[in-house]
A and B are shown apart, each in its own frame.
Chain A
Amino acid sequence: MVISILGFIIGYILGQYLNFSVPNNYTMYLSISTLACIHVIFNGYINLKMKKFITKAFLVEFIITILVGLIASYIGILLNVPLHTGFIFVFCFNLYRKINVLIDFQFYNKDTATDKYIF
C-alpha cells in the first residue's frame, strides 16, 4: 500500500515537473483515462479485499477499460453523440458503489458486500 502511495506521489510530481500541455480538444480523453484509472484501482482493491486479486487480470482490466473509454469517446465525437458523458456517468456511479461496497466490507457483513459487488 505504501509503495502504491509512493507511485502516486511520484506520478503527480513528474506530471507537474514535465509540464505537459494537451490541446483543449483532447482534455476529454484525459478525463476519461483518469476516471478509468480510478475505476480500475477501486476494482483491484475490492478484489484484494475479497482475496480474488489476480495481477494479470488487474493489468488487462486497466488497459481494456482505458481503451474502451477512449475509443467510445472518439466514436462519439465522430457521430456527434456525447458517448463520453455516458462513460463519465458510469465511472462515477461505479465509484460510489465501490466505496459503498468497501465500507460494507470493512464495517458490516462481508456477504452483503459481496452481493452488492456482484450486482
Chain B
Amino acid sequence: MLDKKGKLAFTFVSFILSFLISIQVNIAKKSPTADNISLARANELSIELERVKAERDSLAETVATLKAYKDSTSLVNESLNNDALLVAGTSEVEGPGIKVTLNDSAKVINPEINPNVLLIHDEDILSVINELFVSGAEAISINGQRIISTSYVRCVGPVVNINGTRLSAPFIVSAIGDPQTLESALKIPGGVVDNLTPWGINISITPFENIIIPAYDGLYSTKYIKRTIDKEDK
C-alpha cells in the first residue's frame, strides 16, 4: 500500500495532469475549426511568409531603382519624344515654307524629241525633295502625302506612286523651312529648276508664311526591325 508521501505524490501528479488537460480543453473550445491547423502547416506557412517578405523587399528595391531611373531619364525622353514626333511625320505640322508646283511640259510633242522628257518623273520629284531636305526643310508633303523615313517615290506607268498612293501631275510639293533658303536652293544655277525648265517642265515656287502639312496616314508595318536597347535589356 501507499504511504502518505506516495499518496501526495500521486495526487500532485494527477492534479498537474488534469490541470493540463483542462487547459487544453479550454484552448480547443476557443479555437475555431479553421484555426486548428497543424503545427507543421503553421511552420510551413511561416517559412513561406518569410520567403514572400524577402521577395517583396527585393521587388520594392527594384521598383525604387526603376523609379529613380525613370525620373532621371524622363526629361530627356520628353524632349526626344517631341522632336521625334515632329520629324517622324505622325502629327500634322505647320510653319513657314514654300510650295513647289511641278507640271508636265506644255510643249507640242515633236517626233525628234523623246516624249518622256516632257513628263514629270519620279527622279525629278526625288531631286526636288532631296534639294529641299538639304536646304533645311523639316517636313515635306507631295499632294498631301507626307514624306517619312520609309516613303518612296516611284513611277508606275503614267502616274507616280508615293506612300502607296497613285498621284498624277501637277505635283504640289509643300515644304516647311526657311522660305528664302528653300527657294534659293531650288533656283541655284545648275540646280533642279535649271535642269527641268529647258524641257518645258512648269515649276512655280511660292513662299508662304504658314503651311500646314498633314500627318502620315498610312500603315506602319515592321517585320525585321528591332530596337537594340530592347535586345540589351533581355
- Which A residues have a C-beta under 8 Å from some C-beta of B? 3-16, 19-22, 24-25, 27-28, 30-31, 33-34, 37-38, 40-41, 44, 48, 53, 55, 58-59, 62, 80, 82, 84
Residues of B within 8 Å of A33, CB to CB, are: 20
Contact A7:B23 (CB < 8 A) given known A48-B2, A53-B6, A55-B6: no
Residues of A within 8 Å of B219, CB to CB, are: none
Mind listing 19 A-B residue pairs with CB under 8 Å? A3-B7, A4-B14, A6-B11, A7-B14, A7-B18, A8-B14, A11-B14, A11-B15, A12-B18, A15-B20, A16-B25, A19-B26, A22-B23, A24-B31, A24-B35, A37-B13, A40-B13, A55-B5, A58-B10
Taking a contact as CB atoms under 8 Å apart, the answer to whether B27 and A21 are in contact is yes
Taking a contact as CB atoms under 8 Å apart, the answer to whether A5 and B14 are in contact is yes
B18-44 vs A, Cβ < 8 Å mask (1 yes, 0 no):
111111111100110001000110110
Closest 9 CB pairs of A and B: A15-B22, A11-B18, A7-B11, A37-B17, A11-B15, A11-B19, A7-B15, A12-B18, A8-B14
Interface of chain A, helix or strand or loop or mixed?
Answer: helix
Q: How far is the CA of A56 from the CA of B39 in the complex (A)?
A: 35
- Which B residues have a C-beta under 8 Å from some C-beta of A? 2-3, 5-7, 9-27, 30-31, 35, 39-40, 42-43
Instruction: Write the chain B residue with the least CB distance to A48.
Output: B2
Taking a contact as CB atoms under 8 Å apart, the answer to whether A41 and B20 are in contact is no
Residues of A within 8 Å of B20, CB to CB, are: 15, 30, 33-34, 37
Cross-chain pair count, CB within 8 angstroms: 106
Please indicate which of the listed interface residues A9, A24, A84 has the most CB atoms of chain B within 10 Å of its own CB: A24
Q: How far is the CA of A40 from the CA of B14 in the complex (A)?
A: 10
| Minimum CB–CB distance for A65 against chain B, Å | 10
Residues of B within 8 Å of A24, CB to CB, are: 31, 35, 42
| Minimum CB–CB distance for A4 against chain B, Å | 4
| Minimum CB–CB distance for A93 against chain B, Å | 19
Residues of B within 8 Å of A8, CB to CB, are: 14-15, 17-18
Instruction: Write the chain B residue with the least CB distance to A9.
Output: B18
Contact A41:B10 (CB < 8 A) given known A7-B15, A11-B15: yes
Contact A41:B24 (CB < 8 A) given known A11-B18, A55-B5: no
Taking a contact as CB atoms under 8 Å apart, the answer to whether B14 and A41 are in contact is yes
Residues of A within 8 Å of B15, CB to CB, are: 7-8, 10-11
| Minimum CB–CB distance for A42 against chain B, Å | 11
Taking a contact as CB atoms under 8 Å apart, the answer to whether B16 and A30 are in contact is no
Please indicate which of the listed interface residues A12, A30, A33 has the most CB atoms of chain B within 10 Å of its own CB: A12
Residues of B within 8 Å of A16, CB to CB, are: 22, 25-26
Contact A34:B24 (CB < 8 A) given known A48-B2, A53-B6, A82-B40: yes
Q: A11-B17, A38-B17 are in contact. List 9 more A-B contacts (CB 8 A).
A: A3-B7, A8-B18, A16-B25, A30-B20, A33-B20, A34-B20, A34-B24, A55-B6, A59-B9
Taking a contact as CB atoms under 8 Å apart, the answer to whether A44 and B18 are in contact is no
Residues of B within 8 Å of A7, CB to CB, are: 10-12, 14-15, 18
Taking a contact as CB atoms under 8 Å apart, the answer to whether A41 and B6 are in contact is no
| Minimum CB–CB distance for A47 against chain B, Å | 10
Residues of A within 8 Å of B9, CB to CB, are: 44, 55, 58-59, 62
